Amino acid sequence: MAFGATPSETPGGVQLAVTGVSKRFGGVRAVEEVSISVERGKIAAIIGPNGAGKTSLLNMISGFYRPDGGSIVFEGRDISRARPSEVAELGIARTFQNIALFGGMTVLDNIMLGRHVRMKSGVLSSIIYWGLAQREEIAHRARAEELIEFLELQDLRKQQTSALAYGLRKRVELARALALDPKLLLLDEPMGGMNQEEKEDIARYVIDVNEQWGTTIILIEHDMAVVMDISDQVTVLDRGRKIAEGTPAEVQSDPEVIRAYLGGHHGDRVRAA
């Protein structure tokens, strides 16, 4: 196989178990007693209206927020108190709703940066460069090039990210997250603000990542058609609480979801999607 990373282990088994987590900001109860469990190698979607607590939940998994209560267990390890860098080292990568790339750096450099936690050479050997650090640099560059090919960014390799179109920057951000060789990938609205064609492209990449490397994926997305198309399981949040979960078909026909999330008369549209 041409690609460097290998699927972590055989699929199956719970990889991430979020149990009864809550998060309050002052008087606002952003997330209340939410539990989600995702099996290895699955694509899980989190949907819900604005302010439902989706991003807060993702932030807790990736270590940006500390939950006020409950536990988050990743591959048998409690990470509810872990710092973002520790979470990253364990193999959880994410992208952001508002793109967080280094605008002055090239596409390639941004992706190489994503491999930072995987780099082992210390300050001294990096200064000397030849030998260990050089070998390491070459290996990491090879992986970065695989991702560039995977996400079809070859013609943009040396371009500054600030000069790229929005959809392309989203793609670069995905590449940087993948550069971590994640076991679990968290995508916060990967298709937000995109046109239909760009959405289809990203959906294809998400499926390919999942197939090629067996990466577990949790994504927040508003486009119901895409969610229903690509995810194995869907969790619905509303005002910080989980109101439904199941397969896309189950969630689609759940009256609670139709009422709370889309409003009664929008039900037809969900089914149509």
Return d(Cα 121, Cα 93) in angstroms, integer. Answer: 22
Options 28-36, 164-172, 202-210, 241-249: segment touching other proteins (CB under 8 A): 202-210
Return d(Cα 144, Cα 4) in angstroms, integer. Answer: 10
Distance set, CA 194 to CA 52, 57, 165 (Å): 22, 23, 11
CB of 129 to other proteins, least distance (A): 20
Q: Which is nearer to other proteins, 100 or 138 (CB)?
A: 138
The interface with other proteins within residues 137-156 (CB under 8 A) comprises: 142, 145-146, 148-150, 152, 154-155
Residues β-bridged to residue 47 = 236
Q: What angle do CA 146, 152, 157 make, to 5 degrees?
A: 75
213 binds other proteins (CB under 8 A): no
256 binds other proteins (CB under 8 A): no
The interface with other proteins within residues 87-146 (CB under 8 A) comprises: 142, 145-146
Give the torsion sign (CA, 205, 210, 213, 217): positive
Q: Which of 135, 204, 269, 271 binds other proteins (CB under 8 A)?
A: 204
Phi, psi of 38 (to 5 degrees): -125, 130
Binders of other proteins: how many residues, by CB under 8 A?
17
Q: Which residues are at the interface with other proteins (CB under 8 A)?
A: 1-2, 142, 145-146, 148-150, 152, 154-155, 157, 204, 207-208, 211-212
